[in-house]
Amino acid sequence: MPDATTKPQLHVLLAGPRGFCAGVDRAIKIVEEAIRQYGAPVYVRHEIVHNRFVVESLERQGAVFVEELDEIPDNGKPVVFSAHGVPKSIPSEAERRKMFYLDATCPLVSKVHREAEHHHARGRHILMIGHDHHPEVIGTMGQLPDGCVTLVEDEAQARLVQPPAGQPLAFITQTTLSVDDTAEMVRILTQRFPDIAAPAKEDICYATTNRQAAVKEIAPRADLMIVVGAPNSSNSLRLVEVAQRAGVARSIMVQRGRDLDLALLEGVRTVGVTAGASAPEVLVEEVLNRLREGYNLRTEEVVVAEEKVIFKLPAALTQPAA
């Protein structure tokens, strides 16, 4: 391994903001606080956020992750619903079984749920822009009866979708989409259906928007963009795509520092580094330490926004029991 005097220089552009958003931070704290107050095990339906490092850390503290409620014994222990949100059938089933549950759904996802209910109450059919099988989409569509929401995944579907005739329309979106892709799909839908009702405030969350904006700022200056995230994380995958479209020669995702092949850095003089909203900063540090094994780093923060959003924990975790 080269020593500090023989290592080549590498300019690192660190995206700001990057990593945890307020919704992810809140969801993790809900699990940790539930374990602290009620003791292990605390059950969590689905990965609390899409990051194995986070999931495994919570497992070591006493969290038990399940996919469905029928995997949980009737032992009075809390069950936490993930940050992505759940269909209405899930809390209904928990109540039927008299389970104590804590809802860690991101408040910005809950906002989209309320929008869907609002449109449905006004007789509108809803077009949801999002990715099929993503838990957030499943949860949002599951707020309403079957058939009330039609999923639109891409521009081709936006051009072809045929909603029920004679019914007023509205659109909502998943919170973790590509800002640019979504804007184009919205343009197509509003051109086809001029009276379609739009969200009062954009559904794509501030954290997704800010992280993509930082990547757009960095990409034209970088030879390689490294996104720290998980392959099942929508917002992380979008960062890889946004970087490619914004002009970087190569954009890759790694989950941990050890996953980074330094051979990919051959010929690279400037590298961008960011992290999806469910990736903790410790994993960014792992990637930087991995880079230091082969290079002398000169780091530069590229900050496009300051984030000061904080979401409160559920009252069940902050108020004394009656």
User: Given this model, what pLDDT does residue 2 score?
Assistant: 56
Question: For 293-319, how does the pLDDT look when each residue is reduced to its tens digit (9 = 90+)?
Answer: 999 999 999 999 999 999 999 999 987
Asked if pLDDT for residue 264 goes beyond 80, the answer is yes
User: Given this model, what pLDDT does residue 322 score?
Assistant: 44
The catalytic residues are 136
Q: Which CATH architecture has domain 9-20+206-303?
A: 3-Layer(aba) Sandwich (3.40)
List the beta bridge partners of residue 270: 11
Q: Where are the alpha helices (DSSP H) in the chain?
A: 22-38, 52-61, 89-96, 107-121, 135-141, 155-160, 179-192, 206-218, 234-245, 281-292, 315-318
Q: Three-class SS of residue 194?
A: coil
Asked if pLDDT for residue 247 goes beyond 80, the answer is yes
What is the mean pLDDT of the segment spanning 166-177?
A: 96
User: Given this model, what pLDDT does residue 130 score?
Assistant: 97
Average predicted confidence (pLDDT) for the chain: 95
Domain boundaries 108-192, corresponding CATH code: 3.40.1010.20
Q: Are 257 and 289 in contact (CB under 8 A)?
A: yes
Domain boundaries, the chain: 9-20+206-303, 22-106, 108-192
Question: For 124-166, how does the pLDDT look when each residue is reduced to its tens digit (9 = 90+)?
Answer: 999 999 999 999 999 999 999 999 999 999 999 999 999 999 9
- Per CATH, 9-20+206-303 and 108-192 having the same topology is answered yes
User: Given this model, what pLDDT does residue 319 score?
Assistant: 78
User: Given this model, what pLDDT does residue 3 score?
Assistant: 62
What is the model's pTM?
0.94
Choosing among 3.40.50.11270, 1.10.10.10, 3.40.50.300, 3.40.109.10, the CATH entry for 22-106 is 3.40.50.11270
Question: For 53-102, how does the pLDDT look when each residue is reduced to its tens digit (9 = 90+)?
Answer: 999 999 999 999 999 999 999 999 999 999 999 999 999 999 999 999 99
Position 200 confidence tier, pLDDT thresholds 50, 70, 90: confident
